[in-house]
Structure 1
Amino acid sequence: MADPSEQRWLEALWGKSASRGGGRRNLLLAHMLDTAAVAECLWDRFLAPVTRRSVDEIAGGPGKGRPFFAWLCGVHDCGKAVPAFQFVDEDCARLVWDAGLQWDRHRVARQPWRHDKAGAALLRRCLPQAGWPVEQIDWVWPLVAGHHGTFPGRDALYLRPAALRAVQGASAEWLRAQEVLLRVFTEQLGYRTVAEVAPVEVPNRALQLQLAGLVVMADWIASNTTVFEGLDELAKTGIEQSRRRADRAWRELGLRGGWGTRPVPGPEAFRDRFGQDMRPAQAMIVDVARRMPDPGLMVFEAPMGEGKTKAALLAAEILAARFGADGVFVGMPTQATCDPMFSEVRGWVAATEPGLEGQVALLHGKRRLNKQWRALLEATGEAPMDDYCVPEDDAQYGMVATEEDSGAPDRLVPAEWFLGSKRGLLCPFVVGTIDQLLFAATRTKHVMLRMAGLIGKVVILDEVHACDVYMSQFLEEGLRWLGQARVPVVLLSATLPPEQRERLINAYVSAHVQPSTPEPVHPPRGYPSVTAVSVGSDGNVREPIVEHTGSWRPDQHVRVSVVDETPHQGRTAADDAENAVADLIADRLREGGCALVIRNTVDRAQATYRMLARRFGRDQVGLLHGRLHAGDRAERTEDNLGRFGPDPAKRVPPGTRWILVATSLAEQSFDVDADLLVTDLAPIDLLLQRIGRLHRHNLAHRPTPLKTPEVVVTGLCRRGAKPPWLVRQSIAIYGEYLLLRSAALVIEAEGGQWRVPSQVPELVAAVYDGKPLSVPRAWVEAEHAAYVDYQRRQEERIANAEPFRLARRGEEHSGTLEGLHVGAHREGLGEQQFQALVRDGAPSVEVVLVHEGDRGYSTLSGRRLGVNGDVAAELLDEILAATVRLPQSLTTSAEENLRPLPGWHGHPWLRHTKALVLHNGRSDVLGKTVTYDSTLGLVVNPR
């Protein structure tokens, strides 16, 4: 291995002290070899086939990628072989000193020098001496410098010469010891020289970022002292020993990958997976997935209820098999839409490979409230781990080992290691909010782990039209990186503005176009449609595929009506407006039926509910919004899915009325069939989403007055030739410009009809294309002023997102990851802070409601808790069901004033949960009076 003096150095240099190594000092060489052996496990049992092919190409051909990948992961800690690191533990430092590796104690103590930067400096000295080409060194050293989560610039590696010599080691002994460590480590992996390791191709930055994430993953697994005990004897250190340790660790941690290499599903696959035949639009996207010449981006636009998600799953399966992806990420617009999708994806994955459904993870901040996820987790015998409740300290390398074998067919959730902080996207199959992808496009710590979890998968994003201009900055940034890595992506939307479609496509292909101004892709000429662009291995963008077909059901002719809402300041005028809505509903539902009333804010929904409940009685009116606690919301959602559903046994009986007042949460993935829709004015794409809840199923019987689908638009007041008055709360949410242009279409159509779905693209384009609308001349000035304000706000929001984008403007074609995190903000963010970062808003806070009375704490239903709020196992569901999200206006006060109950400390599900304690049904601790009404939900009033 080495001569006697070199052996003394290798036996003295340590990677982990006894206090950090599970009770025994761990040799630096041992940890580097352990990490390399873990990397070999990753290669054999986790990496997607496409990733292995890419690394083979980087390393020089088939068979060369595996040892290079192991070397790249293992070399990450070479920077620990410097005085600045070796002196920090007194006991370990004495052994190093006695081996002849010494330092100036005063200078080393004064000059901080992190081992990640030291490793980069060491490689920048040693690799040129070994004969590595400069262009290969330039992309490798940032991976070592960034393995603790951030990529520094080259300037961060430079200290004044005297200081650098002190902390890095400038004596002949230190220089030789560093070279010996690198040489012996390299030889252990089967290379004859360090020069032989040199790659032959420079990967693009997206692949570099993926490799950086995999380096971190290998390091964290190998740093888990539960499965890698300290090894302090050089004689017992070697790659074969490390391979045995890594194999045992892999099995004990229960780690595994996804599909691996598999055949392309045949024509019968859709029926096998979902038990039904394909509709024309579904067959279209599946066919395009089979015909795409290379990996790329597919935009699938189809009406609500067309079955886009099922078709996208099969398309993803085809793309994965054709192009070597190993799993799927499904990004949904909201946490609420994730939960049913989690169940659907588990069923689909099980149909592709029985038992593999246990590798599907649910990834969002409220997953602890999902009963299915909790039941699966608890049945596996593992503790809950959530991104927002795990310390950001990157010393949290791993969870405890389990006794599950990696191939165990009865595993119900992915390995616990995957469920820790920042690792969720590394699971083979993931269902989460779109925020998870947006996080991966931010310049935040350990972003490489998130991106490594996406590259190698097929990415499906549902309802992408819901991304506003701020979120779109991160969506487009994410697509740039995914496009550069040639990751197959499927985007789904029912109402996608043409300009947004073009931006998303351009973002995906921009890394392959010089300059990054791609040729425009002609828009589809029909609806439903698929637009597909792909990128060849040569980096050239292929000819796009643009196709359309007919919907599986004929157009509905939706009657458009308007109920003017009198501009009001006082309560009387507001009541008059609500009475007008009540009169219309009473007329339309005179023979019974179901009406859905959508308001843009919770306050308006609560006010409308009060009025309608007084008019029709509480037994005929329901309320659904985001300020209900989780239990109420789930119960009411399920109840209304039945009342508005196609099953006659559950639907509202003939001759009776049911009116549901809801907020905008009813416009997405809410599978109901309303006989009548009453809605506040919203931008046209969202208005059409709401119309998608109207006459959704072919029911055998509808009341005669409701035979024709009708949308009744409120929240505005026509004023002759003047622009309409718009509700202030709606303007605050959506802005005046889009509302004015949407109002123009509504007013023009009033008394007439819209053809849905065939007219959807035309209506959306009319609002978003910026061309003049046929509105009264008196509108023009107001519309122009609104447009100027709209543009100003759009530019402000784009500018607000810029500091947090993963790559700065102009860096898209940079060759390496050097300096990626220079100037980065907001490290150490939790789930709620991340959501605020990518959604341009103050972080909101979720709390659990509990009562406190003379006899202590109790649940909302009155069941007693322990003296300190301790929760018995049989009460946990009830406590978690009392979770409610506070309005943003209360966030700061909640962060300052609310804490978990004393009895919740240490509880696996509640230890990070804030309690809002109600006394006699109310709380005044947040600066306002907050009550929870069993009917209205959370009500916030000034004191």
Structure 2
Amino acid sequence: MRASGSSIGALLGVFAGRSRCQCGLLGCGGSGRAVVGGLVDLGRLGGRYEPAVVGALAVLWGKSRERAGGTTSLLMAHLLDTAAVAELLWEDFLAPSTRSALNEVAGGPDRGRRLFAWLCGVHDCGKATPVHQRLWPEGAEAVRQSGLTWVESAAVAGVKNKRRWRHDWAGGLVARELLTAAGWGPEQVDWTWPLVAGHHGAFPSLKDVQEPGSAKGQLRGRGVWRRVQEAVVDAFTGELGFGGLGEVEPVAVPSRALQLQLSGLVVMADWIASDERHFQGIDDLERVSLGESRGRAAKAWAALGLQHGWGALALPGPEAFLDRFGYTPRPSQAMVVEAARRIGGPGLMVIEAPMGEGKTEAAHAAAEVLAARFGADGVFVGMPTQATSDPMFTRTRRWLGAVDPELASRVVLLHGKRAFNSEWKELLENAGASADEAFRGVDEYGMDDDPYGVGHAECGEQERHAPAEWFLGPKRGLLAPFVVGTVDQLLYAATRTRHVMLRMAGLAGKVVVLDEVHACDVYMGQFLGEALRWLGQAGVPVVALSATLAPAQRQALFEAYLAGAASRAELEVCVPAPAGYPSVTAAWLDDARQPQFHTDSTDSWRADLPVAVGVLPERLPGAGSSREDRLRLQAEADAAVADLLAEELAGGGTALVIRNSVGRAQSLYEELRGRFGEAEVRLLHARFTVARRADLTEECLRLLGPRAPRPRGGRLILVATQLAEQSFDVDADLLVTDLAPVDLLLQRMGRLHRHEGTWRPERLRAPKAFVTGFEPRPGREPVFGYGSEMIYGRHLLLRTAAVLPVPGGDWSFPGDVPRLVESVYGSDAALVPEAWRETGEAARQAQEQADRGRAAVARGFLLTGPGDHERRTLAGLHYAGSGGSDEDALRAAVRDGDESVEVVLVVRQEGDEVYRTLAGRALSVNGDVAAEVLDEVVGSTVRLPPSLTQPALGLKPLPGWHGHPWLRRARALVLDGSGRARVGDFTVSYDAEFGLRQL
């Protein structure tokens, strides 16, 4: 093997010393054809291929002048650029676990690097075909003049009859044939060619990559084209230092999950090498070499500022917990860390502990141990909602900063409204970056993937104290080393959508932490199970947290992960039930590929806390009630809550009131504001604008969060919806809540007396909770509010109502939590009173039927098709096409349809010529948005009630928003001077105090 520092052109001696004519070919002598004499003695390729074939390397284009900084980029240059980027990914980005796995596939230590570079670089071999070379007229003419021709009419017919057949699928076919001819084993060929064929986001089947018959060979190319394709791959392979294509062959077949991760890394390398700022075109084969590409890649890498995570992390010692969090671990936290030390391989750990126990710190500490033991380079923390992701972003940055001060600046916040998180904005603004810069990928032609990209900020080579901007582009967030976001980001990786491989590439090599896993309902649970299968097969350690996990959910989590780890469609396992609470359960596969378990439990850090649970009955309207009756009964219910709060808070204190709907929360807030005054009441729900909601959330955490000062005798009431249910670290003396399934009810009660050292009024020294929102009926089943039944279903509400304590009774926290959850989510029909059982059985059957239907719908979006979990390759992974990959489409897929649409609120008063922001700042007659008011306009986004989804679909962007990168697809809702607007046949209003209301 030779050194790879010299150019390919110089090595071959192609056309050395010859001049260039107007056609752009070296040494054509003005004939339009390359001079090929004398090549037989000029290097390995010259001895294997006829001169016309070797000369084709000087004209085959990879990127047009328009997409390569003004100079045509030869195909060979792009292949080598991508390989050079891959080498840097290996050295400075890949997790130790990934490098180890690739070394094993390649046949030994230090062999994976070169195989990885080859896999990344060969991705565009399909561009050595007419299907690609014909796309750019200027390049096509040069290729034709070199002697490579095709029949255009047949090529056009082939494209029309099979529209999707382009260079990526052509490359899959080329790679498959060349690898087979080189003597590769069928099992190695079968997993390799889909990486080439799928590098633009979707994996075809073997049938798909066959050239359409109507093209008559004019898309793949006939005659000399086949030799040219062989020469391209041969030249590229030799430049990487291989003696021939046969020498590249791996010795082991990687798991399907590793293949998917590899595919994502191929895409990543391709996208970086396609950035014309750093890889301007090279149209002279004399300049093309791996050495040249390495120099270009090094400069690009430095400019982009791409960062890895921990790297080779040392196993933290016993003192680490105190160093990270400032206190010695509680018994449950020490138990979790010890389990992470004892687990026999990458596996799944489930932590079950009460609210306020410190599960987050335990999970962070366990993740650090797991990363050190199993070679992970970062962490993904998935939260149930955007609102819970924001405080977790702060806590995760604080933890990583304690590990290494440099790491805190590398954390990416990943959800749709992150631009309104003040800490995220400050992090990026301090680095001179945009909060959400749009970046270009590569389309199916190897060109721009985002015509609406707003450009790129030059990072330079200076030290950067923020996540690299490259990670802020679409589909790239999970590739950052440390990520906090909604669990949706994980669920997206389980969907059959374009570029799903980028998401798996981002998750593999990390430790995955999932908080509040019980919040995934039967629909979302399908995607969670699919994701756990892939993570299990990829050997990704997963830490799942819950305060109220039903036994069936626990069983499903372990079955999915272990089936994936075993590469089995199904795997029956007997998951041991925890003996106590808090508890930890861990599972992994041993060397014989058999499941192993570790379980442990301990006492909580504080003694059981009895919570007095009372019922505040509410009269509810019957079917067919008039609007007047409904309003009257709602006012009656609001007054009853106000009376209760006046009595219980007579000596001061804080109360949290959780309503199951925004309308009920707004109605109650209006009553309480009139009774107690604006200074003592707050309102928080999901129908404030995103900017206002972010401000209100911060204020609530400041007033009721940890270490918040409480003036003696002071009084504060927070009226909220389910936003306050999970991962919302506030402390209240008193809870009033609508009835919800028992696990959610317990979550809400977890906000009671949450923090130590907080002043409590005498009357509330012991925590109290009152459950309302339903109407008990002696001798009959209770009546539930219409909204509550629509959200939660009658089955679980009936069973939860059945376990409420008798008057004067209490629940013990945390001691009663596992028993209550197991009872309600169990199958014992005797749980409900005999008088309810007929109704209860009907409700159970209806719920099971609905669950089966929802699960079936979800399975239609899953990444793996029915019966395909034991397949060995990625071929046909996108078996029924790929769904939309924008944020809205994905959210709709994993959350059972988007519950409503979002609109941007603007104001236009009667007689006013211009549109204005909610704060009154002028836009224009067309709504054009100046840069200084963009944040204000985008911050005025609000989600409409589900009942308005259909009429809201008719709303359009303002004329001045067309073409704007952020607003071009936004629906504008224009309010009048009184803050009102019509949406179809409905009227809504908006103000900063109540949010959006449907009148």
Q: Which of the five TM-score ranges fits, normalised by the shorter chain?
A: over 0.9
C-alpha contact 2:154 2:214 (8 A) present in aligned 1: no
CA shift, 1:207, in A, is 0.4
- Matching residue within 518, 523, 528 for 2:577: 523
Who is 1:606 aligned against?
Answer: 666
Is 1:19 aligned with 2:52? Answer: no
Is the contact between residue 681 and residue 715 of structure 1 (CA under 8 Å) also seen in structure 2? Answer: yes
Deviation string for 1:180-212 (max 9, x for gaps)? Answer: 111111111111010010111111110010001
Tell me how far 1:800 sits from its aligned partner. 0.8
Which residue does the alignment assign to 1:839? 895
> How far apart are 1:874 and its partner, in Å?
6.0
Q: Using the TM superposition, give the Cα deviation of residue 891 of structure 1 relative to its aligned residue in structure 2, in angstroms.
A: 3.5
Residue of structure 1 equivalent to 2:229: 178
Counterpart Cα distance in 2 of 1:67 and 1:701: 64
Is residue 38–residue 218 contact of structure 1 (8 Å, CA) maintained in 2?
A: yes
1:484 equivalent to 2:537? Answer: yes
1:158-196: CA deviation from partner (whole Å, max 9, x where unpaired): 24667353321221x222111111111111111101001
When structure 1 is superposed on structure 2, of 798-807 and 613-622 the one drifting more is: 613-622
Alignment check: 8 A CA contact 1:597 1:678 kept: yes
2:8 is matched with which residue?
A: none
- The question of whether the paired residues in 2 share the 8 Å contact of 1:533 and 1:541 is answered with no
User: Any conservation in 1 of the 2:739–2:771 contact (CA below 8 Å)?
Assistant: yes
Instruction: Give yes or no for contact 2:64–2:72 (8 Å, CA) kept in 1.
Output: yes
Q: Decide whether aligned partners of structure 1 residues 178 and 825 sit closer, same or farther in structure 2, where only a CA change above 3 A counts.
A: closer
| Number of equivalenced pairs | 932
2:825 maps to which of 768, 772, 775: 768
C-alpha displacement of 1:656:
4.3
8 Å contact kept, 2:535–2:564:
no
Q: 1:79 touches 1:116 (CA, 8 Å); kept in 2? A: yes
Provide closer, same or farther for how the CA distance between residues 657 and 91 of structure 1 changes in structure 2, counting only shifts above 3 A.
closer
Between the aligned partners of 1:844 and 1:206, the Cα distance in structure 2 is: 34
1:799 to 856, 871, 874: 856
Moved more, 581-590 or 184-193: 581-590
Match for residue 809 of structure 2 among 725, 728, 752: 752
Query: In the aligned structure 1, how far is the partner of 2:782 from the partner of 2:196?
Result: 60
Q: Could you say if the C-alpha distance between residues 402 and 918 of structure 1 is closer, same or farther in structure 2, counting changes exceeding 3 Å? A: closer
Quick one: distance in 2 between partners of 1:517 and 1:939?
49
2:546 aligned with 1:493, yes or no?
yes
29-38 vs 728-737, greater mean Cα deviation:
29-38
SS of residue paired to 1:544: strand
Residue number among 329, 334, 346 corresponding to 1:283 in the alignment: 334
Report the 3-state secondary structure (helix = DSSP H, G, I; strand = E; otherwise coil) of the residue aligned with 2:58. helix
Counterpart of 2:27 in structure 1 is none
- When structure 1 is superposed on structure 2, of 266-275 and 697-706 the one drifting more is 697-706
Q: Does 1:554 align with 2:610?
A: no
1:153 matched to 2:205 = yes
Determine if contact 1:851/1:921 at 8 Å carries over to the other structure: no
CA contact (8 A) 1:258 1:326 kept: yes
Counterpart selection for 2:318 from 257, 262, 267: 267
2:991 aligns with 933
Flag structure 2 segments of 5+ consecutive residues without an equivalent: 1-11, 13-44, 160-164
In structure 2, which of residues 765, 786, 799 is the aligned counterpart of residue 707 of structure 1? Answer: 765
Aligned with residue 947 of structure 2, among 889, 892, 897: 889
**Distance change >3 Å, CA 539–CA 216, structure 1 → 2:** farther
Within-5 A mapping of 1:802-881: 802-827=859-884, 829-842=885-898, 844-853=900-909, 854-855=911-912, 856-865=914-923, 869=927, 875=933, 878-881=936-939
- The 8 Å contact of residues 16 and 25 in structure 1, kept in 2 or not, is answered as yes
Query: Which 10-residue stretch deviates more, 908-917 or 106-115?
Result: 908-917
Contact 2:773 2:784 in 1 (8 A): yes
1:635-674 equivalences under 5 Å are 635-645=695-705, 647=707, 650-651=709-710, 653-674=711-732
Answer yes or no: is the 8 Å Cα contact 1:596–1:677 preserved in 2: yes
What's the secondary structure of 2:494's corresponding residue?
coil
Q: Secondary structure at the match of 2:66?
A: coil
Cα deviation, residue 582, structure 1 = 2.6
CA distance in 1, matches of 2:697, 2:281: 53
Once residues 645 and 382 of structure 1 are traced to their aligned partners in structure 2, the CA distance between those partners, rounded to angstroms, is 31
Summarize deviations over 1:74-126 as a string: whole Å, max 9, x none: 11111111122222222212222222222222212221231111111112221
Secondary structure, counterpart of 2:584 in structure 1: strand
Q: What is aligned with 1:535?
A: 589
> Residues of 2 paired with 1:127 and 1:191: CA distance?
14
Structure 2 counterparts to residues 575-654 of structure 1, below 5 A:
575-645=635-705, 647=707, 650-651=709-710, 653-654=711-712
Deviation at 1:670, TM superposition (A): 2.0
Cα gap change, 1:635 to 1:189, in 2 (>3 Å): closer
Q: Which residue of the other structure, out of 780, 783, 788, is the alignment partner of 1:722?
A: 780
Q: CA deviation at 1:584?
A: 2.4
State the Cα deviation string for residues 282-319 of structure 1 (Å, max 9, x = none): 11111111121211111111111111112211211111
CA distance in 2, matches of 1:872, 1:397: 26
Partner in structure 1 of residue 981 of structure 2: 924
- Closer, same or farther: CA 874–95 of 1 in aligned 2, 3 Å: closer
Give the aligned residue type for 2:432.
G
**2-side partners of 1:638 and 1:698: how far apart?**
21
TM (norm. structure 2) is 0.89
Deviation, 1:614, is 3.5
User: What is the DSSP-based 3-state SS (H/G/I as helix, E as strand, rest coil) of the residue aligned with 2:328?
Assistant: coil
Q: Decide which of 501, 510, 514 is 1:457's aligned counterpart.
A: 510
**Residues 142-167 of structure 1, C-alpha deviation per residue, up to 9 Å, x if partnerless?**
11111111001111122466735332
Q: Secondary structure at the match of 1:165?
A: coil
CA 343–775 in structure 1, closer or farther in 2 if over 3 Å, else same: closer
The answer on whether the counterparts of 2:200 and 2:443 sit within 8 Å (CA) in structure 1 is: no
Q: 1:731 to 1:32 in 2, by over 3 A?
A: same
Counterpart secondary structure, 1:533: strand
Percent of paired sites with the same residue: 53
Partners in 2 of 1:126 and 1:159 — Cα distance?
Answer: 16
Q: Which of 471, 474, 477 lines up with 1:418 in the alignment?
A: 471
Q: State the Cα deviation string for residues 16-74 of structure 1 (Å, max 9, x = none).
A: 12223222211111111111111111111111111011011111111111111111111
* Stretch of structure 1 that moved more, 572-581 or 669-678: 572-581
Distance across 1 between alignment mates of 2:458 and 2:689: 37
Match for 2:493 among 430, 440, 456? 440
Do the aligned partners of 1:646 and 1:699 also contact (CA within 8 Å) in 2? no
Find the aligned partners of 1:871 and 1:144 in 2 and give their Cα distance.
43
TM-superposed deviation, 1:451: 0.7
C-alpha displacement at 1:631, in angstroms?
A: 4.0
What letter is aligned with 1:166? Q
| Aligned CA distance change for structure 1 residues 879 and 544 (closer, same or farther; 3 Å) | same
1:302 aligns with 2:353: yes
Report deviation, 1:673.
1.9
Q: Determine which of 168, 178, 183 is the counterpart of 1:116.
A: 168
1:471 and 1:209 mapped to 2: Cα distance? 22
For 1:782, the equivalent position in structure 2 comes to: 839
Deviations 1:347-395 (A, max 9, x none): 2222222222222111110011112222332332333436899998884
Distance 2:784 2:872 in 1: 50
SS of equivalent residue, structure 2 residue 174? helix
Alignment partner of 1:689 is 2:765: no
Structure 1: which 5+ runs fail to align? none
Structure 1 CA distance, aligned partners of 2:316 and 2:704?
36
